[in-house]
Structure 1
């Protein structure tokens, strides 16, 4: 999926929050800069030279995108900090003015941020293209090339999946005992849960993620979504049994459907549904390049913690997790409950 970094704030931030991509970018781009306080920083003059733009252009972007640039490392030096910087940068400050009392500097991250914003710079355009390639390579490398199941690299995935499977059995049992209809009702009411949580039925979801017919949806879901599905299944199972007993008969499918609607509208689930939709829409676009059109308004930039969660040193493939004694011990505890 083509990304226009000059227009999309969350696409820019997804790159800047991915420290693994930044490490690789710093290694490959070789932009120069000055070592200061354990990182590479750049003066405005150095940035102007890198992107072949004038002072007025850089100042215009600082004014227009000040908050974004500051959040990503642009800062003003003054006092003793500026004095220290001048000492360390001696010989490189050719046009900034040695007597200046305030000096703006860009961290490497802020330079990339500015490069993703500049529309009138050919070097910036080339840098954006290289950055996108680096990000794709890093995600593929660290995920083992299997972004379809990147959700499974989360250490919380297996316990959530195991827990949801238990509630799934409880849910299908309740449908069998307390709701009228043939075996098609299981798929129908499962779709109602999906639509309540992420506004897509099974067919729509598979199309977005380009899943094969044999692929199981739940194996691609994030742990938070699985936990919310389990909550729906547990609560709905309880209500189906309760209302069926009260009426002294099986519920009609319409009566059962009303229970689903009430769950979706219950204030208890509102923040949980919002969180699940935001995580699904944002992570899938970032890690899988999959756009959920019905969830587009929920897309946000993916936090740094998520890159650690799915790409970091603690993230593991499902095969590695299943061979981990600690993970197996968690499964045993869950099974014994």
Structure 2
């Protein structure tokens, strides 16, 4: 078995590679290591992968998934069994500043991945979607049976587009695909542009933190180990056709094609101020808060219904917030030598 992991230098990607190495699986990791955030952190994640006892079964290739010439050569050379597609231009707010980056990576790049899987007979494509696809939806918890036709950011729209593109390839070419809607992932090796990292850094340095929506956000914070376990189990659980699917009353989460989408979330939405208090408690410091209005593209709350992935794959996230935040801050202090 050989698995391609795109976005291998990323937060979720690096953890996923190590989890696959735990299972003695041969992994090719690709990433373009762009400068959306600190490149040295991405390089350090690759170094961390290379400390794994099975690191001889890992090969890293620096390349851009949007490269139409390089991607087919990658698939041709390595004959992948499975593809775990985690590379993307991330960030809701940045999609307002630089929309073209999202089309290049999240649309063009995903197209190249689909074409590689199609032409080189990959057995299953498992790819990252996002809770952001629920957009303007207000009924909680968010279910994969909900309509998701009202995104409120280009990032969300690109993830919804990925699900539609995957369905087309599942339908036309019988390519099994599974999309995973991640809910606010956090933990060791996390991204510097996300709240846990930004809050921990600012509080540690005695600087004020920006708290948007006046602290009224709620997020279903999901620990990285829970996300990765769901990714690996979903990859090995190849998507199949739903024999009960009905075109007159179509389920949004399955199809007559071998196509599925699932939520992976902690099922415990946390008030943003409570989240900040948890960080303060672990750090032993109180944050100075700069209370600000909600930003364009943000949603008020996220809350995952994970019934579908529990029923189909038998997996449910387990790590609570106190344990997860403590693990993140321990990593942060060690990595930055605080």
**Coarse TM-score class (shorter-chain normalised):** under 0.3
Under a length normalisation based on structure 2, what TM-score does the superposition of the two structures give? 0.19
Under a length normalisation based on structure 1, what TM-score does the superposition of the two structures give? 0.19
Higher strand share: 2
Higher relative contact order (CA 8 A, sep 6+): 1
Higher helix share: 1
